[in-house]
Amino acid sequence: MSRLLSLIPRRNSLTPSVDLFDRFFEDWSMPSLFSDEDSWVPAFDIKESDKGYEVTAELPGLDPKDIDITLSEGILSVKGEKKHEKEDKGEDYHRIERRYGSFHRSFRIPGKVDTDKVDANYKDGVLKLMIPKPEGGETKKIEVK
């Protein structure tokens, strides 16, 4: 047992030490919600069903008029800008916090969709898009002769 302990490097105050746990996470880059360029990366979920696609985005604090959605040639683009200002006044202080950020996300929607029947709803900070597939778009097996 003492032989195994001699293989483990000992820490002293003269040499810097790095724990195994710290080294494990050293190379991971974790994206932040706000970068140096004030860009914002909201979370999106896309589900496909037989009837169409459901796109859900978490966009807390956005005004629906600040959201721009386009669907062109199979590319769904969602853009938005967050403008947040909080003012707090007290007897001996006055504090104003501002947070701004914009985002632009694009997704390729596979297959054909019925662009005339796309529905978008925004409630409680959650954007829901329903993108229906055209009717009669079922897959037909073709037999080779």
Q: What is the pTM of this model?
A: 0.61
Which candidate, 34, 44, 45, 40, places its Cα nearest to that of 81?
A: 40
SS3 22: helix
Q: What is the pLDDT of residues 63-94, one digit of tens each?
A: 899 899 999 988 999 999 887 778 888 888 88
Q: What is the pLDDT of residue 127?
A: 96
Tell me: domain 42-136, CATH 2.60.40.790, correct?
A: yes
Phi, psi angles (nearest 5°) of residue 22: -65, -40
- Please state, in angstroms and rounded to a whole number, the distance separating the CA atoms of residues 104 and 10: 50
**Taking the chain (145 residues) in consecutive chunks of 10 residues, what is each chunk's mean pLDDT?**
54 54 57 52 91 93 90 92 82 82 90 89 94 76 80
* Domains in the chain: boundaries: 42-136
Phi, psi values for residue 135, rounded to 5°: -70, 150
